[in-house]
Amino acid sequence: MYCQQCGTTIEADANFCGGCGLPASSVEGEAVVRRAALPVPVGGPYTNRAARTGSSFVTFARDALKGPWQASRATGENQLLEGVLTLVAIALLMPLYSYFVAREAAGGFGGFVEVPFGATVLEPFLYMLLFLAVYAGINVGVAKMMHNDVSFKNVLARYGALAIIPGCGLVLANFLQLISLNFVGALVYLVTLVAFLLASVTLVFSIDADRETEGGLDSFYGLLITSVVMMLFFFLVGMSLVDRMVNQMPFLW
């Protein structure tokens, strides 16, 4: 028989579906009676799971675009994957735009200048992932001080919902840079950075809005703590990245 939830083939003596984990008892009734009428799943469980994830992400993004604040309030741990995918995309697209700009500028040197992909994209990408994880962790700590017992997974999912708009902006900025609409792309990128900053700030208020009890740390001080941590991180990491990039591109001097 086949699982009605994901279409994976279930052995007769299995207790759970191997594709989605649904108890076999949940599909024994109607599923067994109708198993001859059910179509054989195409592509296997991994393809079906990828399709479900894609559909879930589209719904997640659509809801976040309609109302980022409402979406962040309604987002829970069950949407962790969608939130993480959004944050990973942002961590990649930010340095990727810088790489395209640097490559465009390097073309002015007659094409003899090579822009290092590792120093321009990969290292900033890893640092950005680290920042997002640290920032989410700081928000969990601030939430505890606000008397809100929110989990790290929940914070990541909320952050991802708020970051959908900056993520779409980064996709557009990279596309505009690729088709040589540099000025428009730069404007979109700057607006996107502001949107991402607002999303990071709004995360604190989204958490505070679900405060379970009165008392605890005021949201103003929560915002102050997270802002200081964010600025320190960007300053230290930014200085390190600039120094490494300059050392790998001696042609600038």
**Per-residue pLDDT at 195:** 95
Cβ atoms of 115 and 99 closer than 8 Å:
yes
Residue type, 239: M
Q: What is the mean pLDDT of residues 104-108?
A: 74
With 70 as the cut, is the pLDDT of residue 20 above it? no
**In this prediction, what percent of the chain has a pLDDT beyond 70?**
74
Q: Please say whether the beta carbons of 203 and 69 come within 8 A.
A: no
At residue 229, the pLDDT reads 82
Residue (of 253, 3, 246, 209) closest to 102 by Cα position: 246
Tell me the per-residue pLDDT of 172-189, one tens digit each, with 9 for 90 and over: 999 999 998 999 999 999
CA distance 242 to 91: 17
pLDDT confidence of residue 183:
93
CA dist 155 and 149 (Å) reads 11
Give the separation between CA 22 and CA 14, rounded to whole angstroms.
11
Tokens standing for residue 165: 């708009």
Q: Give the list of residues 6+ apart from residue 74 with CB closer than 8 angstroms, or none.
A: 63
Token pair in block for residue 194: 């502001």
Higher local confidence (pLDDT), 38 or 109: 109
Tens of pLDDT, residues 199-253: 998 999 988 887 767 777 888 888 888 888 878 877 777 677 666 666 655 444 4
Q: Supply the DSSP symbol for 252.
A: G
Determine the longest span between alpha carbons in the chain, in angstroms.
76
Residue 2: pLDDT band (50, 70, 90) is low
Question: Residue holding tokens 């340095």?
Answer: 95
Residue 166 confidence (pLDDT) above 80: yes
The pTM (predicted TM-score) of the whole model is 0.74
Torsion of CA 211, 215, 216, 220, to 10 degrees: 80
DSSP designation for 191: H
pLDDT for position 38: 43
Q: Is 2 helix (H, G, I), strand (E, B) or coil?
A: strand
